[in-house]
């Protein structure tokens, strides 16, 4: 008796999870997934805006021959790393939100407005 109630509760939970997943339109990547953003030789992030699911680790790589860095400036997060030629750094985003960052060598900041090598991660 107890086992079958447990099984029914489990089935309900699985159904609820499936419904939640269908609301977002796309299946959520597994926790622990990682995606890559590249620092380019023409002073841009590629892609400039990256949309990810909560729990995703974003890895920034610099395959270019320029020196870059990555400094958070908006979105309530803290990150500061240098990205030398061939270097990389990463951050796992656990909360939804919009997280902005820039390369301080190749961008200017006027208040919260960034011009130049500015990037964003949208976490849902
Ligand atoms: Cu740069």
Report the run of H or E that residue 51 belongs to, with start and end: strand 49-52
- Report the separation in Å between the CA atom of 98 and the middle of ligand 1, taken as the mean of its atom positions: 21
- In CATH terms, the superfamily for domain 31-123 is Cupredoxins -  blue copper proteins (2.60.40.420)
Can you give the pLDDT at residue 32?
73
Can you give the pLDDT at residue 112?
85
According to DSSP, the β-strands at 49-52 and 113-123 are: parallel
Please identify every stretch of the chain with a pLDDT value under 70, giving residue numbers as ranges: 1-31
Q: What are phi and psi of 4, to 5 degrees?
A: -70, -30
- Report the separation in Å between the CA atom of 15 and the middle of ligand 1, taken as the mean of its atom positions: 46
- Report the separation in Å between the CA atom of 118 and the middle of ligand 1, taken as the mean of its atom positions: 9
- Report the separation in Å between the CA atom of 75 and the middle of ligand 1, taken as the mean of its atom positions: 20
- Report the separation in Å between the CA atom of 6 and the middle of ligand 1, taken as the mean of its atom positions: 55
| C-alpha–C-alpha distance, residues 17 and 55, integer Å | 17
Can you give the pLDDT at residue 56?
97
79 burial via Cβ count (<10 Å: 0-12, 13-18, 19+): middle
Can you give the pLDDT at residue 19?
47
Domain ranges of the chain: 1-28, 31-123
């Amino acid at each position: 008796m107890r086992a079958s109630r447990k099984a029914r509760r489990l089935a309900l939970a699985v159904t609820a999870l499936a419904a939640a997943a269908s609301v977002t339109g796309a299946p959520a990547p597994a926790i622990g997934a990682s995606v890559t953003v590249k620092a380019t030789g023409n002073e841009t992030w590629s892609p400039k805006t990256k949309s990810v699911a909560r729990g995703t680790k974003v890895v920034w790589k610099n395959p270019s021959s320029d020196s870059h860095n990555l400094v958070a400036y908006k979105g309530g997060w803290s990150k500061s790393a240098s990205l030398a030629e061939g270097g990389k750094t990463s951050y796992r985003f656990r909360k939804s939100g919009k997280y902005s960052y820039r390369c301080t060598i190749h961008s200017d900041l006027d208040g919260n407005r960034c011009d130049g090598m500015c990037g964003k991660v949208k976490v849902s």
